[in-house]
């Protein structure tokens, strides 16, 4: 299952909720303000790194770049563009946006 | 593969309206099909032809209309959400149509994936 | 409240296909319109004879809190509508235990009978769905 998170982890609990209710083996894509969660030194860094043992994490690079955060992405988080976003949605059986 | 797209936020206020558009464009570029784009909540405001952003800004409404014209997209505005917010036939931009919420459920049934963009 | 949903359109070949739909509610009522308009989608979905589940988590559990009285804020109290869902054959209502606990609530505080599931159980439930609409 693909989980899409678009909220900054320093403002909302969305990423926490997603991590709590995402099955092992699922995928998370961080978009919009959600990409702040993918950056080094942010509030989500440690929990995201821990989750990455069981969950594959991606971030949308157009959103990272728009926010000037393209050079501080946590190692192991793969970056995709909008085409890659489409591929991720297609690859999993279902998708949920954590609004 | 057939994609359904749900847009729940208005233009300019929330990036969801932009991401939904970029996603729809990528779906089409990759040779997939967009089954329908459904506009709900404040997302109905993406369909207002009265929208006039500053000249140096993107025109979110016209962008959807153009994509619909080029690819025959089905852009559906929820009637109930539209009525609540004053989005009706008289201010509906080209390429959009107004219909019931059943169209959203139908997209969920008929599309292979339904992706939501919102806040 | 169905009179405001603008009718139901069932064309093409929707009838016959049964998918698992989950509506995930994570927002409190009244502060924003999402909870109310989510409920409107749920009611419409009943007409399509799909396999519908409702999930309440995070502040979404507040949508089901007993005792809502909206007269003074001048808004419509839509919490009684959750009690009407049974009449629409929507009976799978799940609430995340962790969200209740974190808000000092129990199932007894809610307007409808619900099944309380742990986060892990919700994760499994969501994973099994065909369509997940989150509001």
Level-2 CATH architecture, domain A2-98 = 3-Layer(aba) Sandwich (3.40)
pLDDT digits (tens, 9 = 90+) for C57-91: 999 999 999 999 999 999 999 999 999 999 999 99
CA distance B34 to B37: 7
How many C-beta atoms surround the C-beta of residue B13 within 10 A? 11
Q: Is C3's Cβ below 8 Å from some Cβ in B?
A: no
Residue C51 lies in a domain: yes
Q: Which tokens belong to B6?
A: 């749900």
In a domain, C60, yes or no: yes
**Domain boundaries along the sequence of chain B:** 2-117
Residue C15's pLDDT is: 63
- Total domains, chain C: 1
In terms of residue numbers, what domain contains C33? 17-134
Q: Output DSSP code: residue A48.
A: H
Instruction: Say if the ipTM goes beyond 0.90.
Output: yes
What is the per-residue burial (b if ≥16 Cβ within 10 Å, else e) of A7-20?
A: bbbeebebbbbbbb
From its phi and psi, is residue A90 left (phi > 0), alpha (psi between -120 and 50) or beta? alpha
Any bridge partners for residue B97, and if so which? Answer: B76
Whether the pLDDT of residue C10 is over 70: the answer is no
Task: Please give the pLDDT value at position C13.
Answer: 52
Q: Quote the pLDDT of residue C5.
A: 42
Q: Is C73 contained in some domain?
A: yes
Question: CB of C34 within 8 Å of any CB in chain B?
Answer: yes
pLDDT band at C1 (very low <50, low <70, confident <90, very high): very low
Quick one: DSSP state of residue C32? S
User: What kind and span of H or E run contains A89?
Assistant: helix A82-91
Sheet-wide strand order for A2-5: A78-80, A56-60, A27-30, A2-5, A95-98
Residue A74 has a pLDDT of 98
Predicted confidence band of residue C16 (pLDDT cuts 50, 70, 90): confident
Answer whether C41 touches B (CB < 8 Å): yes
Which residue out of A2, A12, A13, A21 would a mutagenesis test of the C interface target, given it has the greatest number of C Cβ atoms within 10 Å? A21
As a whole number, mean pLDDT of residues A68-81 equals 98
Give the residue, C135 or A28, on which the prediction is more confident: A28
- CATH number of the domain where residue C124 is located: 3.40.1260.10
A10's enclosing H/E stretch is none
Residue range A2-58, pLDDT digits in tens: 999 999 999 999 999 999 999 999 999 999 999 999 999 999 999 999 999 999 999
User: Residue B55's CB: how many other CB atoms inside 10 A?
Assistant: 6
**Yes or no, beta carbons of C119 and A95 under 8 Å apart:** no
B78 catalytic? Reply is yes
Write the DSSP string, C49-115: T-EEEEEE-GGGGGGGBTT---GGGT----THHHHHGGGGT--EEEEEHHHHHHTT--GGGBSS--E
Domain B2-117 has CATH 3.20.170.30: no
């Amino acid at each position: 299952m693909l989980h899409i998170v678009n909220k900054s982890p320093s403002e909302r609990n969305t990423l926490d909720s997603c991590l709590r209710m995402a099955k092992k083996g699922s995928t998370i894509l961080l978009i919009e303000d959600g990409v702040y969660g993918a950056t080094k030194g942010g509030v989500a860094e440690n929990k995201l790194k821990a989750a990455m043992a069981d969950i594959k994490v991606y971030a949308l690079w157009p959103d990272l770049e728009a926010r000037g955060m393209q050079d501080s992405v946590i190692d192991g988080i793969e970056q995709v563009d909008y085409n890659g976003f489409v591929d991720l949605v297609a690859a999993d059986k279902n998708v949920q946006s954590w609004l | 593969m057939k994609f359904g797209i749900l847009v729940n936020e208005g233009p300019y206020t929330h990036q969801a309206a932009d991401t939904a558009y970029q996603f729809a464009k990528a779906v089409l570029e990759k040779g997939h099909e967009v089954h329908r784009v459904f506009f709900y909540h404040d997302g109905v405001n993406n369909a207002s032809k009265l929208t006039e952003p500053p000249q140096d800004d993107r025109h979110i409404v016209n962008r959807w209309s153009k994509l619909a014209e080029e690819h025959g997209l089905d852009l559906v505005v929820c009637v109930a959400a539209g009525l609540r917010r004053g989005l009706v036939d008289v201010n509906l931009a080209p390429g959009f149509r107004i219909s019931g919420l059943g169209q959203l459920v139908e997209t969920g049934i008929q599309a292979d994936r339904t992706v939501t963009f919102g806040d | 409240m169905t009179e405001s949903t603008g009718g139901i359109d069932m064309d093409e070949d929707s009838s016959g296909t049964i998918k698992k739909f989950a509506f995930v509610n994570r927002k409190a009522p009244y502060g924003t319109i999402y909870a109310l308009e989510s409920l409107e989608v749920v009611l419409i979905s009943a007409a399509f004879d799909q396999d519908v589940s409702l999930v309440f988590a995070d502040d979404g559990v507040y949508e089901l809190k007993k005792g809502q009285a909206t007269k003074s804020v001048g808004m419509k109290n839509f919490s009684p509508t959750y009690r009407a869902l049974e009449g629409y054959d929507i009976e799978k209502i799940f609430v995340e235990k962790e969200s209740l606990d974190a808000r000092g609530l129990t199932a007894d505080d809610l307007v409808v009978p619900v099944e309380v599931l742990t986060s892990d159980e919700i994760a499994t439930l969501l994973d099994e769905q065909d369509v997940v609409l989150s509001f």
